[in-house]
Structure 1
Amino acid sequence: MNAKRTCGWIVLIALAVVSGWWLFRSQPDVPSGSPVVSHPATVVADGEDETDFAARDESQRRSILGAWKELMRWMKAEPRPTPEEIEARLKELRIEWVAMDPTVLTAVLGEILRSGEDLPTGIKFAVGPHGLLDGWPTLRVFLLDVLAVSDPAATPAVAREVMDGTKSADEFAVALRSLTRKGPGRATDQELLSRFGGLLNHAGWGTEPGFAEAFDMVRYVGTSAAARQVLAWKGNPMLRTMALDEFASAHPAAMAEVIASPDTSGLAPAERAALMARADPSDARQLAAADTYLRNPDLTAEEAAAFLKIFPLRNATTGYRLYGENPAPYSKEGIAAGDRAALGQVDRWLADPELSSRYRAGLEPLQQRLGTWVKQASSR
């Protein structure tokens, strides 16, 4: 093979590598936590022009609208289909729709949502993997669920429009999810908490399942401002406690910061103690916060006893959540490290005459309990 021909092959190979790299870099990122939906690639054949694309988009638009009208007719027929039949049909329709062009899908779903058409499905509201729903109580909730896997840049505008006019907590909560997706449409924490505040303050929404699911927004945002917002809410105490507990489990440092302020003065002593007990002893700043908490002269004996009885608290809830990643359980390594750090701190508390005289009844059982756990972990 002569030199010229060799050089030619080298140039061709180099061009192929550069082209492959450019095509790889040009692919859009898939938002973390979102399901990967395979949309059909648009292949431009010789002779195709903008008219061909417009015709293709119009065909998909007519297909979506036609399927929607047929669904409405079918659900209004007598005898009415069962919830199981409706659920099966909605799942088939979702698969069909998400395979279409996401820009077209977003535009048409927005058009349907603006029409106000809706029917109950008889299906319970249920959250599934990736924050998508496994159950849709109404067709509008179903549309909003499908909307979440369409165009990530255009979807938030439709979601905001729905939230501004809806009379349903389920719709509001599912529409709000579209603002949490990572990517160009992800709303700021300030907007998310403002929207969440609007849901909290809406009279008559407390009984809908979506209202309770939306409380995971506190954990998702994960800032002290989020915790303070739900602390200031005067609604259902059970929902407030649940949201704060999950927040403290995921963000113990932020929770410790809030407890050090007057914001938790309205909580029952045992509830505030449980939130403080979430502090991670293996983190020096959080351990210092726990020390400051226990040394507070205004701390009641009741609250101190409740804190020492459960510190360090590391239980966690699991299951699918509407916003963000699912709560992660504590690791064995993290628990063991926390036990060792907590034991060292308890030893220091007992060596302090002031604290030992006030809290010996709670400190000594805690020291014994932690010592047992540390020995068990080291023998494994």
Structure 2
Amino acid sequence: MSFVKISWVVSLSFFLGVSAWGGDYRGALYTLSQTDDQAILISALHQNGTAEYVTAVQTGGKGSGARGPDALQSSDSLLVHDDSLFAVNPASDELSLFSINPAEPWDIQQVGNNSWSGGNYPTSIAVSPDGNKACVTNAGSDSNVRCFDITRNGLELISSFNFDLGLNQTNPPVGPPKTPSDLAFTSDGQILLVTVKGSGNATEGPAGRIELFDVSSDCISHKSTLYPATGPGGLPFSITPIANSGAYLVTDPAVGADLIRIERDGSVSYNASITIPGQAATCWSAYSSVTDQYFTIDLATAKITPLSINSTTLEPTLLPGVNITYISENPGSLIDGRIAHFSDQQDYLYSLVAGDQTVRIFSLSAGHQGGLSDSIQTYELGAAFNSTGGAVGTSIEGLAVFLRPSWY
């Protein structure tokens, strides 16, 4: 259980013109501006899944700056766990922790001061299932994996753990090859997985890999190194658990995706690749429990491809995808995706587009097994923020969702 608990007094409901105890607001959508004065851009989510801009809250740190789409070359740079929100500030080597008001999730308050990330240029965050530990990948010249205790006063670095990724990078890093991509805890919290992209060319450097770490209540230690199914040159990216299987879908722009089952002893009992036809940079994925489908997101082709995966055999089936350019006739670079579980009958997919600073929103309803249909909203997030005096460019990145508990 997380130690971060705040008593809430201030309400932001006046931004919305409704009472948060009623109205039709279901939750909040968060993203990072990636500007020098980094801010979390906060939008309210309606009951029908559409989004409405509310406000921006400064992190006190620095974003990546103007480095183009996918400036972080990673997943999970912004993460919700219980009623806490974690954010990276890459250019200032810091992490920020906020507590979310569960009744009005557009109302967030920083917990403690920003924490040093333990290296240079943090890009991804994971939180243990019990909410007691957070771990981060640093992608810059001091490229490593560091972990923190989560306390009521903020994040406290665990000084005894420092795993050097040995990437020989710069500040900021040059990639995507030879950069960390994502990290995730197993459901029991006993293993931490970290994906690291290879050189992109088997003759020029190391292959992509997955680092495994043992996690206990008082210790974190390196366990083993795994090489993904694509072999030398692989670029393992985001990590999505496969429901009811103990396996993981790992996107990989070198081929599409990998399916990997990791046992408790660190051995691999299943390892295979999924080739996504026509893919160019499949970097993110998300799972919908309502449709029991996985959605991969391709930055370069601006395409979302659904697939189903048999939880017993791990056999994948690709379904018809959607190219967001065809929907709006505007070019865009899809750079992240999140699925919000509204009910047993309804999920929504949110995908951030750096090319025009929008969020494309798709309805995922029970019984719909044919892949994605047209989006229900092209949400003009960047324009809404800029109209308030902000300034967000093509490096906008990071996406997270919080849904109000049913009793509110």
Q: TM-score with structure 2 length normalisation?
A: 0.22
Which structure exhibits the higher relative contact order, with contacts defined as CA atoms closer than 8 Å and separated by 6 or more residues? 2
Judging by fraction of residues, say which structure has more helix: 1
Judging by fraction of residues, say which structure has more strand: 2
Larger radius of gyration: 1
Q: TM-score with structure 1 length normalisation?
A: 0.23
